Amino acid sequence: MKEEPIEIEGSIHAVLPGTMFRVELANKHVVLATICGKMRKRFVRLTVGDRVKMEMSPYDLNKARIVWRLR
């Protein structure tokens, strides 16, 4: 049975090469995140300070996938 991803919000702290981002969560934890395929396909631009919604695996809480850019 597949585990459900954890949905969490954060703020982009740093932009790294290769469409990778350092995202700071509300509890000051910093995770490494990448953008999902639909955002890559639509050329959604992310910069430092943007608020994003992410999905995290319950097995690895240091990596995430950005699925939405919030206003």
Q: What is the CATH number of the domain that holds 11?
A: 2.40.50.140
Q: How far apart are CA 11 and CA 1, in angstroms?
A: 31
| Nearest alpha carbon to residue 28 among 10, 49, 16, 46 | 10
Count the domains in the chain.
Answer: 1
Percent helix, strand, coil in the chain, to 5, is 5, 50, 40
Q: Which domain holds residue 61?
A: 6-69
**pLDDT tens per residue, range 9-68:** 999 999 999 999 999 999 999 999 999 999 999 999 999 999 999 999 999 999 999 999
Does residue 50 belong to any structural domain of this protein? yes
Does residue 46 belong to any structural domain of this protein? yes
Q: How far apart are CA 30 and CA 18, in angstroms?
A: 18
Does residue 1 belong to any structural domain of this protein? no
The whole-model pTM stands at 0.91
pLDDT exceeds cutoff 80 at 1: no
